[in-house]
Amino acid sequence: MDLSIIIVSWNTRELLRKCLASIFANAENLNLEVIVVDNNSADASSQMVAQDFPQVSLISNTTNAGYVAGNNQGIALSTGEFILLLNPDTEILPQTFSSILNFMSQRPKVGIAGCRLLNADKTQQLSVRRFPHLLDQLIILTKVHNFFPSLVKRYLWLDFNYDQEQEVDQVMGAFMLVRRAVINQIGDLDKNIWSWFEDVDFCYRAKAAGWQVVYTPISQIIHHKGQSFAQKLPFDKHVNFVNSLLYYFKKNYGTLAYLILLPFAFLSLLLAYGVQLFGIKKINKQL
């Protein structure tokens, strides 16, 4: 099996339908398998997949176990040499798969690859960041960056050249191609994370184990960003973000970093709750 594609879906039936249709329209005779993990959707997503895409391996969960748990279910079922973690709000374009698989076959030290992500209007979407550090996360937690965006320019890598192949810290989990050898060495996504920072943590662990993480513009997809998360209330979304951030820093940078972040995390939750309670917009626009 050349490629295993894992899609975790929650109430994204029509986007998932477009995603799956684009996959099979651009499979290019590759030996691939598609695994959809539905996290107890209420919009008949599972029924749609079973009826319209019988070639897909479908896991229909009876509860929403989270994005990470769903991906790990798919990974356990997969058999491909390469595993693509793909969001349901994406559309595959011609030669996406063949070009990036050919790239990986020529670069054995690359453990994780990300491609060019495009908005619906085909403009460039930001998808590469540096690993988070205490200062930039303190700025983000307190929302100061909404007024002084230059303070997080380095973390968000706002001057990144998306026309150039580069080794990077992390690529967005919306399209993350992983060599199976990486998973065999470092394990699955961290099961202690519900969502947010799972891709950051996985890239961090892969690089620590000696693998390269690379962005390449050789492949591209359309990404209708954040459609699953858009269904959540802003405060619920922010709680997930804060919990994952605290866990990531405690795990990878130690208890001191966690304790420094903790009071700012509480402040950030209060701000987010106020945003939701009073309907203030735009202050919570960038996590």
Residue 282 lies in a domain: yes
269 and 196 share a domain?
A: no
Do residues 95 and 38 share a domain?
yes
Range of the domain at 39: 3-127+162-228
What is the model's pLDDT at position 271?
77
Residue 271 lies in a domain: yes
User: Does 180 share its domain with 104?
Assistant: yes
Percent of the chain with pLDDT over 90: 82
91: CB partners within 8 A, 6+ apart: 18, 19, 22, 221, 222, 224
Residue 98 lies in a domain: yes
Structural domain count, the chain: 2
Name the pLDDT band for 273 (thresholds 50, 70, 90): low
Entry pTM: 0.91
92 and 199 part of one domain: yes
The reply to whether 88 and 175 lie within a common domain is yes
Do 220 and 140 belong together in one domain? Answer: no
Contact 28, 56 (CB under 8 A): no
What is the percent of the chain with per-residue pLDDT over 70, rounded to a whole number? 92
Q: What is the pLDDT of residues 148-161, one digit of tens each?
A: 889 999 999 999 99
pLDDT score for 194: 85
Task: Please report, for residues 11, 140, 169, the alpha-carbon distance to residue 279 in angstroms, rounded to integers and kept in the order given.
Answer: 25, 20, 35
What CATH number should be reported for the domain holding residue 170?
3.90.550.10
Taking Cα atoms as reference points, which of 5, 211, 247, 236 lies closest to residue 110? 211
Q: Assess whether 119 and 140 both reside in one domain.
A: no
In this predicted structure, what is the pLDDT of residue 146? 83
Select from 228, 250, 272 the last residue of a domain.
228
Residue 155 half-sphere exposure toward CB, CA atoms < 13 A:
18
Cβ-contact 167, 212 below 8 angstroms: yes
Q: How far apart are CA 266 and CA 268, in angstroms?
A: 5
Domain boundary among 179, 201, 228: 228
